[in-house]
Amino acid sequence: MNIALITAAGTGSRMGMDVPKQFVCVKEKPILMYTLEAFQAHPGIDEILVVCLDGWSVILTAYAKQYNISKLKYIINGGETGQESIFNGLVELEKSHSPDDAIFIHDGNRPLVSQAVINNCYSVFQNHGSAVAAIPCVEAVFRTDDGISSETNIPRDSLYRTQTPHVYKLGELLEAYREATKRGITNQVATCTLMNELGKRVFFALGSERNFKITSQDDIELFEALL
């Protein structure tokens, strides 16, 4: 079975809005619904779990009904950090799913994830046992210690920018998140960085420039333009 685990527990504090960014409406539809529709439409995805901001589950349920997100089977409250939120979702799935089930962890505020990107991730997962959507870095990159200047550039040919989905087996994810807790690793920014911290190799699947994460008002304007 293939399950999409969608993270939507952020408060959106960086955007300075009263409504969490994943529930901001663009063209009269919440951003999160665009994301859920992408996984709803994919024939390889069997179920969807959303890790939701506490207090918003009723609203999410209503939106899911309105937009016919029939694959949404679970809504789980998030934690204090993104890492804890994902772990909450994994623990819920453990109750009724096989350790070999594929989990597609995806940011709820990456609404333009395409069917091709999901396919790419699943193909790499089947070949290597895990997959992380990523794209080559095309910008010149510098390292700085003071945020003002630099004397060191990093060759971009060796750099990739990761996105989501991240695809792993449920059993491997649970083992990794529990091991991270034991080691005191509590606030990794993404599953791929947590896996890297635990010594796991990361396998890249081709992402897309359109599969960007909405974190600012500028991003919302870009998303609206792309729609």
Specify which residues 106 forms β-bridges with. Answer: 6
pLDDT at 15 over 80: no
Number of domains in the chain: 1
Range in 7-21, 171-185, 189-203 with the lowest mean pLDDT? 7-21
CATH number of the domain that residue 34 is part of: 3.90.550.10
Task: Supply the pTM of this predicted model.
Answer: 0.94
**What range does the domain containing 97 cover?**
2-226
pLDDT at 125 over 60: yes
Cβ partners under 8 Å of residue 146, min gap 6: none
Q: How are the residues of the chain apportioned to helix, strand and coil, as percentages rounded to the nearest 5?
A: 40, 25, 35
Measured CA to CA in angstroms, residue 147 lies from 6, 143, 216 at distances of: 33, 9, 21
Q: Exposed (0-12), middle (13-18) or buried (19+): which is 205, by Cβ within 10 Å?
A: buried
- For the record, the structure tokens of 129 come out as 């046992």
Confidence of residue 147 (pLDDT cuts 50, 70, 90): confident
Round to whole Å and give the CA distance between 43 and 52: 24
CA proximity to 44, closest of 174, 130, 167: 167
